[in-house]
Chains A and B, each alone.
Chain A
Amino acid sequence: MKYSKMELPSRADHLWRYTPWKRIHPSTVETVPDAVPFRWSINEGGSLSDGMPRVMTDGDIARVFLSELGQTGVSLSVDGTTPVVHVHAVASGHVSVGHLHIECNNDVTVIVHLSGEAEWAGLHVTGTAQSNVRASIGFINELSANSKLLRCEDWTVQRDATLEMASLSIGGFRCKNDIRTRLIAAGGSLTQAISIHGRDQRHVDHHIEIHHDVGHTNSDLHIHAACNDESHSISTGLLTIAESANQSDAGQVFKNLLLSERSRAEAIPELEVLADEVSANHGAASSPVNPEQMHYLMSRGIGEEEATALIIEGFMQDGFTKLHSKALVDEMRTRLTVHLECELMR
């Protein structure tokens, strides 16, 4: 379907309630503007090749829009010579777009860094964790503080594969993230951890869909959002367990740390469970900084500002502790620490 023929989504649509399509679109909402392709690079341990498999848009307006903005993309091949492969995407110009496909045929750890000064960046990542593979994928949004981001990801997890995804959201002004994963064969496992740091008037929207299409699959989602100033974080989760997907085990935990009176955070987990013999749970909590934690840290000589920073850092790191890939956790932790140290000096 062409974007021009699609009906614009209304705010009654769960997906677009908190970040309306027209507010994330880069220009006049009926148009598809010219876009500058991302500048891609890779450190070592793999290669990027032009062209990518045809992207299934699934009739979703954001995916259709991204596919029309940029007709080509890059595919990542990993050669296994380094423990962690860093892929860098730089967005520049008024509107910038990139597509990345990651086919995980062997155990891999890949970190995708998105940076740049583009006013608007669109990213579509697709990937598959093939049978019996352990894939650890990190994404770090370190765009300019004035950038808008539309990011879609589509993943499938094959038989006995483990997909671990970590996402650190520290850049951009208004960000809409829509990440969907399908567990399509028995033994598939997904662990997904997202940490968000809101400051100034940053608006960060994460919509996470996890679909258990078959039984004997596991998923575990943790979203931790620390919101300061007038920032706003929205996390919506859609967990579906198909009728035949018995013995599935799924959990979603959304935690928000509110650091100022004017910061806001929404956490809306949603479950559609059609099978009978499953374990599915969800929880959401929002709270300010725990005064007992502050007192404990300050009783050890740590000043108030530094104690607050330590609690924020710990809160954001805590989501990543659910991941088993040490390399992935270490990479995310290091980047987060650097970010928060820079914040302290602001």
Chain B
Amino acid sequence: MGVTGVSEILRIENLHVSVDETPIIKGLTLTINRGEIHVIMGRNGAGKSTLASVLMGHPAYEITEGTIHYLSQPLEELTVFERARAGMFLSFQYPVVIPGVQVGTFLKKSVQSVRDEPIKGRAFRKELNEAMNTLDMNKSVLSRYVNDGFSGGEKKRLEILQMLMLNPKLALLDETDSGLDIDALRIVAKGINQVAPEAGCLIITHYQRLLDHVKPTYVHVMIDGQILLTGGPELALELEEKGYDWIDAAPEA
């Protein structure tokens, strides 16, 4: 993978991350260019979600070594909301409930913040309608409170709706496909494919089935805080069939 050039979105070099002094990520290097879809697979506890959280600036995670550059700028210089305003988006594995805050209000504030300009009501509604139609979402969701009482599938759809509205340069999707039925999976994939051509995408998943609908550029296998293997879409099929043990054993072999 190239590490320079105008299309580079994200460059991670020798990243080490700890939580409460426990090392989770132990020397991870990865570059994502515009238009590329990277998929990270791996067992539970491998550090996949930690990577997504640290990229979005979650305060619980400490970078102990290594560098991250986003659009050629050191990422550590940006606060969480500055990262979002600079075009980073994280679809959360477990979207947070915000009681009393209506989805419509939240979306408008979010879009206004990221675009840094007032949005006219009619233009916003038109854009929102289009995005909701793409995701086959009912308009009644706009008056509900953010993720409050939502099913797993509804939460994930709302994450993708936010992604479409915010039109990110880097989309991080942390197990967005988990818990979705086949129809919902197809709809979520549609959203990802809409954003992907103009952005860099990092998809964290346990399942190959999402990749029936989203074609990855690279598939990485993360084990014990490191990327141990990188391949094309065929690697996901191989993992589905063989699991991860053969990769653990490979260096010794």
Contact = CB atoms under 8 A, between A and B. Distances in A.
A310 B101 contact: yes
A317 B144 CA distance: 12
Interface of B: 56-59, 79-81, 83-85, 89-90, 92, 95-101, 106, 109-110, 113-114, 145-146, 162, 166
Contacts of A64: none
B100 A300 contact: no
Given A291-B59, A299-B90, 4 more contacts: A293-B96, A295-B56, A317-B101, A318-B100
A48 interface: no
Contact of B110 (A293, A295, A301, A321): A301
A165 to B, nearest CB: 18
Interface in A261-304: 290-293, 295-304
Interface string A24-37: 00000000000000
A-B interface, 8 closest residue pairs, ranked by CB to CB distance from nearest: A314-B100, A317-B100, A318-B100, A301-B113, A314-B101, A301-B84, A301-B114, A300-B110
A314 B98 contact: yes
A293, A301, A307, A316 pick with most chain B CB within 10 angstroms: A301
Contact of A298 (B80, B92, B97, B101): B80
B81, B84, B90, B113 pick with most chain A CB within 10 angstroms: B81
Contacts, number: 85
Interface residues of A, number: 25
A300 B145 contact: no
Given A296-B96, A310-B106, A318-B145, A302 B81 contact: yes
A291 B79 CA distance: 15
Contacts of A296: 92, 95-96, 98
Interface string A112-156: 000000000000000000000000000000000000000000000
A300 B114 contact: yes
A238 interface: no
